[in-house]
Structure formats: C-alpha cells, structure tokens
C-alpha cells in the first residue's frame, strides 16, 4: 500500500519503482539489498539519536539509482525542479522506516535529501572537501584513489568518490553538465575534458587513454594581502614596505576602455601566433569578458552638488578617522576618496578662478594656467620646451609629452597626429610665462653645479625634468587648501573646453586647441553645459515665444 510522500502530493514508491518496495521494508535501501544488485551491502538503520557515517554513505549510494530512475520517469532532470522530487522520495523512505520501527528525524531527512542532490547534481562525497577554504587541489586516480592537497602543504587521503570507474566517469559527466557554465562532453570519443566549475574551481579529466579515469580539481582562490598585513605578520620590514609603497606610487587603475584596447592588442598578437606560427590553436583573448567601456558623463559642480558632496565628505572623513584610531590620516586622500556624483567632474568658471587665485604664488602657476585655460594634457605640459614657445608671437607648439608608466617616465610624441598643434595664448598668460622664465633662471643660478640644463619650460628647482605625478599631487593640495570640491587634474582640460564653448568659441577651434581628431568627439566628450549658459539659452528661447503669444491677447 502506497503512502503519501511529502510535497506536491507525491507518493511512495515514486514512478518507476517496484510496488513491492512500498510493502516490504526489508527491500528498502536501509533494510536490505537493491533489486537486481546482489552486491549491495546492508547498511545499518538510522536512528533518532544519530547516524552511522558509513551507513549513511551506503544509504545515499543505494538510493541514488532509485532517485535517478524516479527523476527520469517524472521528466524532472533539471536541478531546480529535482529537489522537490528528491525530498518526496526521502519522505516516503522515512515513512517506511517508521513502519518498520526505525525513527528518522527531520534533520536526517533534510541531510539525506541534500546528500542525494549533491550526488546527482553537485560534487557528491567531495562537497565538504570542495567547501573547505584550506583545500588547494584534489587529485583522483580511479574511483577510490583520492588525494587532497592543502594550502599548508599537507596531502591527505580522501574518501572514495565512486564505487567503480564507470560511476566516476558518470560523475565527471554530471559535473561538467550541471556545475560548468559551458557544459563539455566527456566520453570515449572525447576523452579529454577541461572545464571551469564556478569562479574558483577548474576541472581536468582524462579517460580511455589511461588505465583508469584521472581527474584533477584545481582551486584558484585570490587572497587580498596588504603591505600592512605583511608588516604585522613580521614577513616584511617597515622600511621595505615604505620603499614598495613609493615604488607603486602614481600607478592608476586601468579603465574599462583601456582594458578593451589591451585585449584587442592581445587578441591580434595571439591571432598571429595561430595563423603564422601555429603555436596555439585557440585564442583565449577572444573569450575574455570585460566590463562595458562606458565613458562616464562629465558633470558640473553646481551649488547643490557641492552641498551634497560636503555631507558625503564629512561622513567619509569620520569613517577614516575612526579606522585610524588616533593615528594621522592623509586629508588629501580623504578629500579625493569621498563619493562624488561622477568620476569626471568639472569646475564652474568661478571655481576655476578660485583655484588659479590660490595657485598664483606657486612656482608652477603658469603650468596650471595653461592646463586650465588652454587644455594641455598633463604629459604635454611636462614635455613643453622653451624652443617651442614663441614669446613674441604669443604661441606655443605642442610637440612632445612625458608619459608615465607606473612610476617610470619616458618622452615621446603626443597622443595622436592631431595632438601635435600650435596653441595661441592670451596676453596675460604670456606675461606669466615671461615671469616664470625669470624665476626659473634664478633657481638654476642658485642650484650651482647641480643645475640641469634640460630645456624644459617646467622643471624642478635644479632644472631637471618634472615627474607627472608631482603635478597631480601639487594640484590636489592646492585645490584642497582652496576649499574646492575634488576633480582630477585632467578634468581641468574638460573645463577648458567647456569655458571656450561657453565664451562663444567655434567648436572647430576648440577641437584644434585640444588636439582632437574630430569636433564631434570634442562636443560629445569634453564639454559640459554650465548652469548659467543653460539658463541664458532658456531665456532666449522663451523670449522668442512670449512676445508672439502676447500679441494675440
């Protein structure tokens, strides 16, 4: 007589099982041998108080083909739908156990259902090992030779993963089907398998060409370790840690757009290796997934955005101070790190004027004025030479730039052909450049024998070439002390373009001044609409309509 079995009104025995299983407890998986399998051992029964580990494993092994058949008969082989039927099978089995005098707790039923699910769709006996963060590799040589390697160097024997080599092959096939994002075939005709099981686990398997199936599971876990962690562990000397920090100072995160360009270069190089050298037969760069290269929209620091940012900055500063626990903090880094409306922010003309007023006494004031008003790139300002400056005609030729790679710097041509350009300067900027040249001459004279005749317009006090990161550091400090909201040094270039267009300069002239290849790129990327300009445009539009509307009254 069949008994109700769990969720969904399912009954025990499930479809496809012999009806005698519902009437003869001695033929259930925990009471005797499976039909047609005389080699199945008789595991001990489970009890309310606990369970025998070996008996539990044998029960899982014995019920697996039964549940598999029930799933096939019900047509529910997908993992999402299978769990309900697995629970139903386990509930029916538990009821039969109770009829035979053996109690099974709800916790044991849940554990058995999860074990059956893991056996069919997960890692089976390896589930707990795979979940151990200390495990590094799992090597399987045949069904019963399992070796587990740990991060501390230990190698231990693991549990048998299957009863036979054929069963092991079936497990590998299921792992590839249900655990991998891209299922791969593993059979006698395709005896080699390489698949990623999630983000950290890599599966490699081989069969038929070896005496027994061989399987390797490799973990790729990434651990974030800071220099402070190494110092606290005593692995790193504090002096060496400070040296390493200085060595990576100035490195910037790679943007998604740069990632896409790097991938394109790699893909091209690897395609050559495939076509010309025959070194590889697959281009891994073609399947790399990268974040979308969406260009951030530049926003203006309006009064409302500044007020909101000031609140964010206060909260961020309090958080940093709390973490510092009384130690000194870098106020400029905290100023930069406070959340802002967009990664690209632009000062208003009034804010730009405040910055230039604060920087007026700085020895590099002329450089920041060129960037803010004429839109030079940081590397172009560093690479500017006196031979390319015509103080009589009031023009500057941009022919070189200093490029920063990590902390190292190299000199090279500007970014594009259009970047090599001649820029006109206003009379006040020319006067400031003349004063800067006299100041530089005094500094070189004071340097004495240590002076360096580099020929650059903007240099260190001894005449040596400026490091681009020094410009950024000084810019951030000047902007912070001026009480301005944060922007990048490169965002001064955005502001220069926006101010030129707001002043009525033709977009073609703006394009040539900035060194862009097309005016559409200048218009779409490097310009922001100031509130005053937008309001003036709205007033002009309304002025055309309102008089006409009034004439019909």
pLDDT digits (tens, 9 = 90+) for 106-119: 888 888 888 888 77
The answer to whether 137 and 216 have CB atoms below 8 angstroms apart is yes
Whole-number average pLDDT of the chain = 82
Give the 3-state secondary structure of 162-226.
Answer: CCCHHHHHHHHHHHHHHCCCCCCCCCCCCCEEEEEECCCEEEEEECCCCCCCEEEEEECCCCCCC
Which residues, 6 or more positions from 51, have their beta carbon under 8 angstroms from its beta carbon?
108
Q: Which residue has the higher pLDDT, 473 or 185?
A: 473
Q: Which range, 218-227, 322-331, 431-440, is most confident?
A: 431-440
Mean pLDDT, range 447-476, rounded to an integer: 95
The alpha-helical segments, DSSP class H, found in 236-302 are 238-248, 256-272
Q: Residue 240 above 80 pLDDT?
A: yes
The answer to whether 380 and 389 have CB atoms below 8 angstroms apart is no
pLDDT score for 223: 65
How far apart, in whole angstroms, are the C-alpha atoms of residue 345 and residue 6?
60
The answer to whether 421 and 515 have CB atoms below 8 angstroms apart is yes
How far apart, in whole angstroms, are the C-alpha atoms of residue 27 and residue 128?
30
Is the peptide bond between 13 and the residue preceding it cis, with omega within 30 degrees of 0?
A: yes
pLDDT score for 36: 36
The alpha-helical segments, DSSP class H, found in 8-105 are 53-74, 79-99
* Crossing angle (nearest 10°) for helices 349-358 and 491-502: 130
SS3 49: coil
pLDDT score for 535: 81
Q: Which two tokens stand for residue 136?
A: 């590094």
Q: How confident is the model at residue 39 (pLDDT cuts 50, 70, 90)?
A: very low
Q: What angle do CA 35, 41, 42 make, to 5 degrees?
A: 90
Mean pLDDT, range 431-445, rounded to an integer: 96
Q: Residue 73 above 80 pLDDT?
A: no
Beta-bridge mates of residue 148: 138, 156
Q: Residue 472 above 90 pLDDT?
A: yes
pLDDT digit string (tens) for 283-339? 888 888 888 877 888 899 999 999 999 999 999 999 999 888 888 899 999 999 999
Mean pLDDT, range 57-82, rounded to an integer: 74
Hey, what long-range contacts does 472-478 have (CB within 8 A, 24 or more apart)?
A: 472/250, 472/378, 474/362, 474/364, 475/368, 476/332, 476/335, 476/336, 477/332, 478/355, 478/358, 478/359, 478/362, 478/368
The sign of the dihedral angle between the CA atoms of 499, 505, 509, 511 is: positive
pLDDT score for 318: 93
* Residue 11 parent element (H or E): strand 11-12
pTM of the predicted protein model: 0.56
Question: Percentage of residues in the chain with pLDDT exceeding 90?
Answer: 37
Mean pLDDT, range 45-55, rounded to an integer: 50
pLDDT digit string (tens) for 306-317? 999 999 999 999
3-state helix, strand, coil in the chain (%, to 5): 50, 10, 40
How far apart, in whole angstroms, are the C-alpha atoms of residue 178 and residue 321?
48
Q: Which residue has the higher pLDDT, 211 or 353?
A: 353
Q: Comparing 17-21, 388-392, 484-488, 536-540, which segment has the lowest mean pLDDT?
A: 17-21
pLDDT score for 44: 38
The answer to whether 363 and 508 have CB atoms below 8 angstroms apart is no
The answer to whether 312 and 282 have CB atoms below 8 angstroms apart is no
């Amino acid at each position: 007589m069949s008994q109700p079995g769990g969720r969904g009104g399912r009954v025990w025995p499930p479809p496809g099982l012999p009806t005698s299983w519902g009437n003869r407890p001695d033929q259930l998986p925990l009471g005797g041998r499976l039909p047609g399998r005389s080699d199945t051992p008789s595991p001990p029964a489970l009890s309310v108080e606990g369970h025998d580990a070996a008996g539990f494993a044998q029960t899982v092994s014995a019920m697996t083909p039964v549940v598999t058949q029930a799933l096939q008969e019900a047509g529910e082989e997908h993992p999402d739908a299978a769990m309900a039927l697995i629970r139903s099978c386990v509930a029916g089995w538990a009821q039969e156990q109770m009829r035979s005098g053996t109690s099974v707790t709800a916790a044991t039923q849940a554990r058995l259902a999860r074990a059956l699910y893991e056996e069919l769709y997960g890692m089976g006996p390896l589930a707990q090992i795979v979940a151990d963060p200390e495990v590094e590799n799992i090597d399987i040589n045949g069904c019963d030779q399992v070796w587990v390697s740990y991060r501390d160097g230990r190698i231990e024997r693991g549990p048998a993963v299957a009863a036979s080599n054929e069963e092991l092959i079936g497990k590998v096939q299921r792992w590839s089907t249900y655990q991998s994002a891209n299922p791969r075939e593993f059979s006698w005709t395709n005896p080699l398998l390489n698949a990623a099981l999630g983000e950290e686990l890599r599966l490699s398997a081989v069969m038929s060409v070896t005496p027994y199936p061989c399987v390797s599971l490799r973990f790729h876990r990434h651990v974030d370790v800071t220099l402070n962690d190494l110092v606290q562990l005593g692995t790193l000397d504090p002096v060496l840690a400070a040296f390493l920090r200085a060595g990576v100072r100035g490195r910037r995160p790679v943007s998604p757009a740069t990632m896409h360009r790097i991938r394109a270069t790699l893909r091209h190089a690897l395609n050559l290796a495939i076509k010309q050298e025959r070194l590889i037969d697959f281009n891994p760069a073609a399947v790399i997934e990268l974040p979308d290269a969406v260009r951030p929209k530049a926003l203006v620091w309006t009064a409302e955005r500044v007020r909101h940012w000031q609140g964010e900055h206060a909260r961020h500063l309090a958080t940093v101070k709390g973490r510092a626990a009384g130690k000194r903090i870098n106020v400029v880094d905290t100023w930069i790190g406070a959340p802002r409306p967009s990664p690209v922010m632009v000062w208003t003309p009034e804010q730009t004027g405040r910055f230039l007023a604060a920087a007026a006494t700085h020895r590099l004031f002329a450089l920041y004025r060129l960037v803010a008003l004429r839109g030079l790139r940081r590397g172009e300002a560093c690479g500017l030479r006196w031979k390319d400056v015509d103080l009589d005609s009031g023009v500057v030729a941009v022919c070189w730039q200093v490029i920063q790679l990590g902390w190292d710097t190299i000199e090279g041509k500007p970014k594009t052909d259009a970047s090599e350009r001649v820029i006109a300067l206003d009379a006040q900027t020319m006067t400031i450049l003349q004063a800067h040249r006299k100041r530089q001459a005094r500094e070189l004279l004071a340097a004495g024998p240590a002076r360096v005749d580099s020929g650059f317009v903007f240099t260190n006090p001894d005449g040596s070439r400026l490091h681009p990161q020094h410009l950024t550091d000084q810019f951030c400090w000047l902007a912070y002390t001026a009480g301005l909201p944060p922007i990048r040094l490169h965002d001064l270039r955005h502001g220069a373009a926006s101010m030129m267009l707001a002043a009525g300069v033709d977009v073609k002239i703006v394009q040539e001044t900035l060194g862009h290849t097309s005016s559409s790129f200048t218009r779409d990327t490097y310009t922001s609409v100031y509130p005053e300009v937008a309001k003036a445009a709205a007033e002009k539009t309304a002025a055309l309509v309102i008089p006409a509307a009034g004439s019909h009254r």
